[in-house]
Amino acid sequence: MNEQLYCQGCGAPIQTENKQEPGYVPESALNQEQLICQRCFRLKNYNEVQDVNMHADDFLQMLHDISDQDAVVVNIVDLFDVHGSFIPGLKRFVGNNPIVLVGNKVDLLPKSTNLNKVKLWLRNVAKEYGLIVEDVFLVSSVKGTGIDEASVQLDQLRQGKDVYVVGCTNVGKSTFINHLIHQSVGEKDVITTSYFPGTTLGFIEIPLDEQSSLIDTPGIINEHQIAHLMSAKDLKLITPKKEVKPRVFQLNDGQTLFVGGMVRVDISEADDKYGYICYFSNRLFIHRTKTEKAEELYENHLGEMLSPPSEETLENWPALKRKTFHVHEKKMDVVISGLGWITIPPGKITIDAYAPEGVNVIIREAII
């Protein structure tokens, strides 16, 4: 049996099968004298952090002793999927260390969005997860919006302490870290070292100054996000790349919206005709029909007119599961984890939301 090899940069077990898992090395590089994984290689040679994925249980087990460290924790969430991108159980390992919450992808929100309201709302969502945050920043890792302010404030807050950056997959964690690297230490002399030498944590430690480091952690896989059901092609379609344009549909009870073939929303009871506002990737097709025809339409046109899911995604496509929501005095959002949301107006309204089994569907007060 071959001896297990470990990355000399981050300590992850070397493997050649999956680029998205810690410790990936192309087979052609296995005979290198200094064996480091592709993630560490790109950091060492290009000052570029690549995200790798890890299941939440494994991740939390890795981090159980961070509460004993004197550090700052930066938790990055996706503003387009806030509840879906929080890490369950994060409070268990943070301890008394201060937490900074970074809401990424602010560039996707409509320009009319009240960002101060969004910041306050993020603090309240964090409380739902048992987290009291020191500060909240709204940024765009892709465009660089808000990164300078977050970097300056973070540097003042940490006062020479290490910084742990955590987040689930697809929140833009690596892009955010790359901005911080270039601002903090410039383009040269970035080296990779192991946080705990001789262990297999899969962390990367990036020096910020002579005393402290930024510690990058693997991206957590939240299985309840719809992204984990989609093919790479479909994932590009459902992931917004630019400001999302709200789409309004005037609906009576007995009418249904299909978001591609992924989500079905029935207006099962409404005391009037209302406008329902959809916030999804601009490239997604939204189809309106009568509820009495919805089942037949889904059976006959899934993967065709009602797509995504495309043919490749359909191979493992689960049945849709219904959740019922009642809306009265307040405007509410019905959120599909990893996809987007529909804003339901105030009124006497009951809706049935259908999403793939295992994908979280929740209701919250409207954020826009």
| ∠ Cα 309 364 221 (to 5°) | 50
Asked which of 51-55, 143-147, 181-185, 305-309 is least confident by mean pLDDT, the reply is: 181-185
CATH topology of domain 27-221: Rossmann fold (3.40.50)
Q: In what order do the strands lie in the sheet with 204-207?
A: 135-139, 99-104, 71-78, 162-167, 213-216, 204-207
Read off the pLDDT of each residue in 40-61 and give the average, rounded to a whole number.
77
Query: What integer pLDDT is reported at residue 282 of this predicted model?
Result: 97
Which string of DSSP letters, residue by residue, matches 192-218? -B-SSTT-----EEEESSSS-EEEE-P
pLDDT tens digits, one per residue of 84-120? 999 888 888 788 899 999 999 999 999 999 999 999 9
Helix (H) / strand (E) containing 326: strand 320-327
Query: What integer pLDDT is reported at residue 247 of this predicted model?
Result: 98
Q: How confident is the model at residue 207 (pLDDT cuts 50, 70, 90)?
A: confident
Question: Taking the domains of the chain in order of start, what are their residue ranges?
Answer: 27-221, 228-365
pLDDT at 300 over 60: yes
Read off the pLDDT of each residue in 58-87 and give the average, rounded to a whole number.
86
CB hemisphere CA count around 360 (13 angstroms): 17
What are the backbone dihedrals phi and psi of residue 46, each rounded to the nearest 5 degrees, phi first? -125, 5
- Alpha-carbon distance of 165 to 359, in angstroms, equals 26
Query: What integer pLDDT is reported at residue 65 of this predicted model?
Result: 66
Give the pair of three-digit tokens for residue 363: 């209701």
Query: What integer pLDDT is reported at residue 192 of this predicted model?
Result: 44
Q: Is 157 exposed, middle or buried (0-12, 13-18, 19+ CB in 10 A)?
A: middle
Question: Is the CB of residue 186 less than 8 Å from the CB of residue 173?
Answer: no
Residue 283: name the closest of 363, 340, 326, 200 by CA: 340
3-class DSSP string for 274-294: EEEEEECCCCCCEEEEEHHHH
> What separation, in Å, do the N-terminal and C-terminal C-alpha atoms of the chain show?
58
pLDDT at 1 over 50: no
Read off the pLDDT of each residue in 271-283 and give the average, rounded to a whole number.
97
pTM for the model stands at: 0.87
Query: What integer pLDDT is reported at residue 185 of this predicted model?
Result: 61
Q: How confident is the model at residue 6 (pLDDT cuts 50, 70, 90)?
A: confident
pLDDT tens digits, one per residue of 172-198? 888 888 888 777 666 444 444 444 443
Across the chain, mean pLDDT equals: 89
Give the pair of three-digit tokens for residue 201: 């944590």
Question: Is the CB of residue 110 less than 8 Å from the CB of residue 368?
Answer: yes
Q: Identify the residue with better confidence: 306 or 36.
A: 306
Read off the pLDDT of each residue in 24-40 and give the average, rounded to a whole number.
87
Q: Identify the residue with better confidence: 42 or 182.
A: 42
pLDDT at 336 over 50: yes
Q: Identify the residue with better confidence: 198 or 351.
A: 351
Read off the pLDDT of each residue in 259-271 and give the average, rounded to a whole number.
97
pLDDT tens digits, one per residue of 218-231? 888 888 899 889 99
Residue 333: name the closest of 308, 366, 298 by CA: 366
Q: How confident is the model at residue 265 (pLDDT cuts 50, 70, 90)?
A: very high
Identity of the residue numbered 257: L
pLDDT at 59 over 80: no
pLDDT-above-70 percentage for the chain: 94
